[in-house]
Structure 1
Amino acid sequence: MNDRISSFNPIIDEQSKILILGSVPGVKSLEQQEYYAHPQNKFWTIIFELLDAEFTLNYDLKLNILKQNKIALWDVIDSCERKGSLDSEIKNEEINDIKSLLEMHPNIKAIFCNGGKSYKELVKILGKNYLIPIFLLPSTSPLHTISYEKKLNSWQIISKHL
């Protein structure tokens, strides 16, 4: 029997313009209670590069950079059973109430999905032609093995929406 895991609270405020959605936190993130805590996950490296900000390991400063740049962060899955960190191992998932979050934050103008699982689940919830654009980006996970440059190039679309 797999243990049930849960996502974190959303990082969002009334200034947020874009929402980045992952699937559900990996093992390392759950251990550290931080979004994208695995040192080989490129999420924070890409975000800092896109925002031309100096990289830091300090989680509060990372969240501050997101807030300053009007970027919200959450996961599509509220809770699930999963062995390890692979999205393909996710079972019996319960979905976060993304619709309510978007209704409470009408300032969100675009949604970016970090990987295929979050995109697939989000489209099930909102449909393909939702009121605001939804973008599928390559996962920043080390388990998604395309090059860093390809990931970064794809993620640069975020800059157009800030």
Structure 2
Amino acid sequence: MLQGLPPILDVGVATLILGSFPSPASLAAAHYYAHRQNQFWRLLGVLLEEPLSVVDYVEKQRLLLRHHIGVWDVYQQCLRQGALDAAIQSPAVNDFSRLRNEAPGLRRVCFNGQTAGKFAGWFQQQGYETWVLPSTSPAYTLAFESKLARWRAAGLGDPG
């Protein structure tokens, strides 16, 4: 079984971005969205007007938290060959009940792609605003500007 990464989370997080499960590159680097072709850091850098694509991982985390944004995945562990979500087998879901204590100001959950987005209903039932957004993965070939517009429409980059 592959083990996921710990969340980027603190008590100030108002928006949580959930992916499905880290890619092999992310697991090897021990940080989210480490694959150089993944557009996550570039996209959020534009939305937040921060140099996220060029700073180190510690600084990426600090800047996200300064903007009240957390990052995690829906699965804590799974079996998978390669990086595609379609190859995920035997997944175990993360314990989201901890969010009430660890991120009491959380009000919006954004899902990075359709696989993570399957959990939107559960989060809506918990009272969170949800957005299922286009995946930043290089496997999802929607143009960057189109992805950016959809992520901007979800309010990312807005205060709190």
Whether TM-score is above 0.5 comes out as yes
Are positions 1:48 and 2:45 aligned together?
A: yes
Q: Which runs of 4+ in 1 moved over 3 A?
A: 127-130
Residue 100 of structure 1 deviates from its aligned partner by 2.5
The residue number in structure 1 matching 2:65 is 67
The residue number in structure 2 matching 1:113 is 111
Cα distance change of structure 1 residues 161 and 21 upon mapping to structure 2, 3 Å threshold: farther
For structure 1, the 5+ residue unaligned runs are none
For structure 2, the 5+ residue unaligned runs are none
Aligned counterparts, 1:90-129, within 5 A: 90-120=88-118, 122-123=119-120, 126=122, 128-129=124-125
TM-score (norm: length of structure 1): 0.91
RMSD: 1.5
Secondary structure of 1:111's partner?
strand
TM-score (norm: length of structure 2): 0.92
Say which is worse superposed, 92-101 or 128-137, in terms of deviation: 128-137
Q: How many residues align?
A: 157
* Deviation readout 1:10-55 (Å, 9 max, x if unpaired): 1111111110000000010011111000000000001110011124
Q: 1:34 aligns with which of 26, 31, 34?
A: 31
Secondary structure of 1:94's partner?
strand
